[in-house]
Structure 1
Amino acid sequence: MAVDEVLWTEFHRVVNMTSRELADWLRTREAGTDDEPLPDQAGTPKGHHVLAILGKRKSDVDSADEAVMRAVVDRVHAERREDLEPVAGEAHWRRRLMSLGHDPLKPVR
């Protein structure tokens, strides 16, 4: 399946966290005093899907990946201005976007 070039480019623009940053964030997000999940299971399913997509070549993206990419792009655009300039906001808002790979305090790539 050939992924839409515009979607591929925009996904990689709005996902401004590296794979390592996202993986670290997903593990940190789940850390607490209660039972912690295994490191590779911490975080949201969508966050893990984003992480998996970041590790793929464009030619390896499937329809499920494309649906997640579109959802992430749509969500980030719905919650941010089009220019995606770094901006502070409510802590819960930032954490929610970071779980999708977008840190509102970082410039876009």
Structure 2
Amino acid sequence: MSDDRQKVAAEFGEAVNMSAKELERWLASDESRDAGQRDGGESVGHESGRKIVKLLQMRKSDWTDQDYAHMRKVVGYIRRHLAQRPSGDVTETRWRYSLMNWGHDPLK
């Protein structure tokens, strides 16, 4: 594995703090489906969450260039979104729900 791929995989592993099972359960919820920016029917984050579940279930040796590109996108989104944390309790906010669609629960 190249140094760049190792770096991306490590950053992805740090940013995504939900397991595949946790993320699958979350994605099945109404809150998950209602959160995020829409490109037609499904939100961008919800679609990304489904891809993340697959990545978490795959062997790292099977990850493709497209998978690494998606991991970079996930890491970038999570970093940007965390920097926009609202004040106060975020437990039941669209901000948290959106992050969770991308595999990161800020309350963990």
Q: Which amino acid aligns with 1:69?
A: M
Bigger share in helix? 2
Q: CA deviation at 1:68?
A: 1.1
1:11-39 Cα deviation digits (max 9, x unpaired): 011100011100000001349xxxxxxxx
User: Unpaired segments of 5 or more residues in structure 1?
Assistant: 32-42, 82-86
Q: Secondary structure at the match of 2:28?
A: helix
Q: Name the CA distance, whole Å, in 2 between partners of 1:52 and 1:45.
A: 11
The answer to whether the 8 A contact 2:15-2:75 is kept is: yes
Q: Which amino acid aligns with 1:18?
A: S
Structure 2 counterpart of 1:72, from 71, 74, 89:
74
The answer to whether the 8 A contact 2:33-2:46 is kept is: no
2:62 is matched with 60
Q: Which amino acid aligns with 1:19?
A: A
Q: Which amino acid aligns with 1:61?
A: W
Q: Which amino acid aligns with 1:25?
A: W
RMSD: 2.4
Change (3 A) 1:77 1:30: closer
What is the percent sequence identity of the aligned residues?
A: 38
After TM superposition, the score normalised by the length of structure 2 is 0.73
Q: Name the CA distance, whole Å, in 1 between partners of 2:69 and 2:89.
A: 28
Q: Name the CA distance, whole Å, in 2 between partners of 1:63 and 1:95.
A: 28
Structure 2 counterpart of 1:94, from 93, 96, 102:
96
Size of the aligned set, in residue pairs, is 90
User: Unpaired segments of 5 or more residues in structure 2?
Assistant: 35-44
Greater than 4 Å deviation, 4+ residue runs: none
Q: Name the CA distance, whole Å, in 1 between partners of 2:22 and 2:73.
A: 20
Q: Name the CA distance, whole Å, in 2 between partners of 1:23 and 1:56.
A: 15
After TM superposition, the score normalised by the length of structure 1 is 0.72
